[in-house]
Amino acid sequence: MKRVIPFVFVVFLVALLPLSAQAASPILVAPDGTYLGNLNKNPYDPNSVANPYGIHGSPYATDSINNPYSPYGSPYSPQSPNDPYGQGPSIISPATGSGGYGNFGK
């Protein structure tokens, strides 16, 4: 019994190791302060802009950069990364807490 408990504990720690090694994704924040989602390519992350069924990646969501009719996805909105002349959203690094503005296409 004494050998089983350390073995189970080691297996538990090894199972958690990949979770702790993952880095947090940068986030997008619109110039008006609206959170626009995680900037990653994980289609299973519920907050990812790459999740077509999530609230930040859906082409039908009102706050999605993938919705061409929303203020954050329109090619004519200054808050959108799709407007080549607009300010675009902030890309904030979770490690430093800072970032910059940018348009993805340019």
Domain borders along the chain are 24-106
4-42 pLDDT, tens digit per residue, is 555 444 444 445 444 444 568 888 888 888 999 999 999
pTM: 0.67
What is the side-by-side strand order in the sheet with 90-92? 35-38, 27-29, 90-92, 99-101
pLDDT range class, residue 3, cuts 50, 70, 90: low
pLDDT range class, residue 86, cuts 50, 70, 90: confident
- Residue recorded with tokens 């503005």: 101
Q: Three-class SS of residue 91?
A: strand
